[in-house]
Amino acid sequence: MFKVQSQAVTIILIAGIVIALVGAAYVWGIPLIDKRTTITEISSTESFIEQLDKKITSIANRGSGKETMDIPGKRVLVIPYDPADPYNTSKNSIIMEFIVKQPTLFEDSTIYLGATNFDVGSSVGAYPDASPSLVTLTQKKLTHGVYRMRIKLHYREIDTQTAPRRGYRIVFNEGGDVFSAKNKLSISWNKKEERPNDAKNTGDLVLTHLSITDA
């Protein structure tokens, strides 16, 4: 009789330990899993944006060509260049958004990704050192335990600092509408033009026009 009771107590103790371990895994493990999921989402989105930037700059430098890219299971928002508001960093941009449960940044904050030059925070970069493209990651809390992550690829003006003063910029879909794409993006050469005295440094502004569409 005593032996049976002992076995029953042992089973109850083991069951209690298992329940405690499962509870601990839920409390501590789920946030860690969510954190890994967030990091994976950011890494895959950043990789897509980096490849997209390479294709865009390659076409712009060649002065011809067309490329397509598969969109990795997210919506891409394309915001055209607006000559009436040229230094608005929300314009002339490509954005990808996704929702996560675990934050990776301070609440409602923005950081630059892959930035190596000193004037990343400026809407105009200094030629020839500054990059024409800026990639930012923004985190915004929507509700408790729900965060919106946004990775944005923006193309800014790059100005010379000595005579002759000139500015250079990659622009796309000038004067067009904001649109979203889900499956593929198509990037193609359009034209190059020069606008006298239109650069931020009062020199001539050289615009490389590209077309970005939903393929």
Instruction: Look up residue 160 and give its two tokens.
Output: 């010379």
pLDDT of the residue at 35: 63
Strand-pair category, 184-195 with 204-214: antiparallel
Q: What global pTM score does this model have? A: 0.81
Order of strands across the sheet that contains 124-126? 66-70, 184-195, 204-214, 166-172, 157-159, 124-126
Dihedral of the alpha carbons of 169, 172, 173, 179, in degrees to the nearest 10: -130
Q: Is the pLDDT of residue 147 over 70?
A: yes
Q: Is the pLDDT of residue 93 over 90?
A: yes
What's the average model confidence in pLDDT over 169-175?
97
| 33 — pLDDT class (breaks 50, 70, 90) | low
What's the average model confidence in pLDDT over 18-46?
60
pLDDT of the residue at 59: 97
pLDDT of the residue at 34: 59
Query: What contacts 168, CB < 8 A, 6 or more positions away?
Result: 127, 132, 157, 158, 159, 205, 206, 208
Burial environment of residue 116 by CB neighbours within 10 A (0 to 12, 13 to 18, 19 or more): exposed
| 5 — pLDDT class (breaks 50, 70, 90) | very low
pLDDT of the residue at 215: 82
Q: How many CB atoms lie within 10 A of CB 42?
A: 19
Instruction: Look up residue 151 and give its two tokens.
Output: 């990775």
Q: What is the pLDDT of residues 106-119, one digit of tens each?
A: 777 888 887 655 56
Q: Is the pLDDT of residue 37 over 80?
A: no
| Angstrom distance (rounded) from CA 92 to CA 81 | 4
What's the average model confidence in pLDDT over 129-152?
90
Q: Which range, of 1-10, 26-35, 191-200, averages the lowest pLDDT?
A: 1-10
Report CA-CA distances (Å) from 184 to 64, 149, 167.
Answer: 20, 21, 31
